[in-house]
Chains A and B, each alone.
Chain A
């Protein structure tokens, strides 16, 4: 077998994903040259990561953002049409099925309940003081994944809140419930210390 291509080396960094991995791995066992190359690859990435983070100066950001928006919009226009139809269809169905006529928006009360539950869980979490205790890597991994997901939900909540009323309530309810579920899991992780959490 010839030496591994850069492509297979890269795929080895994400182990187990590519069908050709087994053969490549076998070659790697027997070839010190390729092992060295893989190691160099790792270290190159590591060195890049160790570089200090550079941020453009503040006044550059609007231009960068505008550029990104422009490129994203162009890409979206290409993908465009069908996806839009499908989305409109699902929204229309949601509106037709999910919203009984008349009265107060049914979601409002449920949103408040979910928000109250979320606040109660936050308060429970703040009693635990996770950073004052011993922390193991497994717990930390799960907890941080959950924290990241909650942070994303929080940003989505903010955006959903800025929508027109109709879509807003549906989205908000969905997101608040998702947040409660994630917080629940996070409290669990810290309480049980992940010993038997199947995530």
Chain B
């Protein structure tokens, strides 16, 4: 048993050496001693503060913005990725766009990161994170951006941050509050969910279509989502040809939104559906079928 012990001891020592600044900072903060090792601490304080902003943020724009210094920083904040079907994606933002303003405020002013050594950061990127931190879910915020030489503005409706409760507890020790988890460790589905798609989800046989203007004229409305076919057991309360306009008061904007709303219910639960059936308004009660026994 000597080998593992030596390994752990050596590794722990290396780990602590590799992370002295964080340990120092964590200790300093907890004992209320803030004046130590000034310059070092300032350098770490900045990402630390931003990390807290990201951890505590409630609303998401659905973009990952570049945070390391790059040429486009003189123009704005470079968008590295856009979350599919997220707020920014719905508003038409794409990766490669350069954001210049959020909520009317320029991202080119006000950031105050340290600019020294190898860790040169993108000031507009950081500024954008700071500005976005003030948003709440369901806020509508104008975003001005450059796509090539084109300057455009779109309205982004923010959403809740993704549910991170399935995260494992972060490792403690040399780490501090707000450290991100090691990648890929908490991407598990909840128990039983993994095969739901194959093994008869109650929504599996539901088919939906968007109401384009042509279809809308035929069905007498432009609002709602058209049901092409519904599960045969009738539990959902829907039939082909229905137009779903609200579920418990929530108005679906398209097929995937309606699916998302319905998926938020558990099996066995019921909900009220406002529909148009044969051009007449009706309210029916739907229910997600329980698992087959």
Contact = CB atoms under 8 A, between A and B. Distances in A.
Interface of A: 13-17, 25, 38-39, 42-43, 45-46, 49-50, 52, 55, 58, 61, 65, 69, 72-73, 75-77, 79-81, 83-93, 95-96, 115, 118-119, 122-123, 125-126, 130-138, 140-166, 171, 174-175, 178-179, 183, 186, 194, 198-199
A46 B270 contact: yes
Contacts of B56: 65
Contacts of A13: 266-268
Q: Tell which of B64, B94, B272 has the most Cβ of chain A within 10 Å.
A: B64
Contacts of B64: 154, 157-158, 161
Contacts of B172: 76-77, 79-81, 83-84, 87
Contacts of A136: 204-208
Given A155-B161, A163-B47, A88 B84 contact: no
Contacts of A126: 89, 94
Interface of B: 7-8, 10-12, 14-16, 18-19, 21, 44, 47, 50-51, 54-56, 58, 60, 62-65, 67-68, 80-86, 89, 94-96, 118-119, 129, 136-137, 161-164, 169-175, 177, 179-184, 187, 189, 191-192, 196-198, 201-210, 212, 228, 248-249, 254-257, 259-260, 263-272, 290-291, 293
Given A89-B15, A137-B205, A141-B201, A171 B183 contact: yes
12 contacts: A49-B265, A72-B177, A76-B172, A89-B8, A92-B10, A122-B81, A152-B162, A152-B187, A154-B62, A154-B64, A162-B67, A186-B84
Which 6 A/B pairs are nearest by Cβ-Cβ distance?
A84-B173, A88-B15, A87-B171, A137-B203, A89-B11, A46-B269
A135 B84 contact: no
Q: Tell which of A123, A161, A171, A175 has the most Cβ of chain B within 10 Å.
A: A161
Main secondary structure of the interface of A (DSSP, over half): helix
Contacts of A61: 58
Contact of A151 (B60, B180, B256): B60
Contacts of A73: 177
A144 B262 CA distance: 12
Contacts of A137: 201-207, 259
B198 to A, nearest CB: 8
Contacts of B189: 145
A146 B89 CA distance: 15
B83 A144 contact: no
A92 B17 CA distance: 10
A130 B256 contact: yes
A163 B180 CA distance: 9
Nearest to A132: B210
Nearest to A25: B293
Nearest to B89: A126
Given A152-B164, A154-B62, A162-B54, A46 B265 contact: yes
Given A14-B192, A155-B162, A199-B197, A84 B81 contact: no
B231 to A, nearest CB: 8
Contacts of B136: 55, 58
A168 to B, nearest CB: 9
A194 B203 CA distance: 14
A146 to B, nearest CB: 8
B256 A123 contact: no
B47 A162 contact: yes
A119 B172 CA distance: 35
A95 B18 contact: yes
Given A87-B173, A141-B196, A162-B54, A135 B183 contact: no
A148 B272 CA distance: 26
A2 B86 CA distance: 49
Nearest to B13: A92
A1 to B, nearest CB: 17
B191 A17 contact: yes
Contact of A156 (B21, B183, B204): B183
Contacts of B67: 158, 161-162
A151 B61 CA distance: 10
B180 A80 contact: no
